Structure 1
Amino acid sequence: MLTINVAVLLVVIVVLRLRTEARSRFDEKMTVVIVLALGIMLAPTEVGQGIAGFLGQLVSGVSQAGQ
């Protein structure tokens, strides 16, 4: 339960950071670290597994369409 709440907070932070222009390299690196932290938080949850399954199907469909 706590993981989802922290994940939601990280999603909000990522959205806000992506809507503003990065002022420096540090801002860009910080955004990458936050996105990686979000990925680590979501990976073991049901939501994360659902996203991974969806992305797997999407990549599979795109690769088959390219052949």
Structure 2
Amino acid sequence: MLTINVAVLLAAVAFFRLRRRTEARSRFDEKMTVVIALALGILLAPTPAGWGILRFGQVASGATQAGR
């Protein structure tokens, strides 16, 4: 049985959409890319990968504030 992780599928779709040239995109394409990115974020947020990204962002933010 073949199973497809929706987050992996959305990440692949977002990757290939973002590789396209910006001059060739319509407003609909831009909006669709934003929707895909938001859906991917919602799917990744409760996972261990999502928590790791959040922790990395907090560490980076703390490091930049400590440097001030």
More helix by share: 1
Decide which moves more: 43-52 or 19-28.
19-28
Structure 2 equivalent of residue 5 of structure 1: 5
Q: Which 4+ runs in 1 deviate beyond 6 A?
A: none
What are structure 1's unaligned runs of at least 5 residues? Answer: none
Q: Which amino acid aligns with 1:10?
A: L
Query: CA RMSD of the aligned region, Å?
Result: 1.7
Length-normalised TM-score, structure 1? 0.84
- CA distance in structure 1 between the partners assigned to 2:54 and 2:64 by the alignment: 15
Q: Percent identity?
A: 55
The structure with the largest alpha-carbon Rg is 2
Q: Which amino acid aligns with 1:5?
A: N
What are structure 2's unaligned runs of at least 5 residues? Answer: none
Matched length: 64
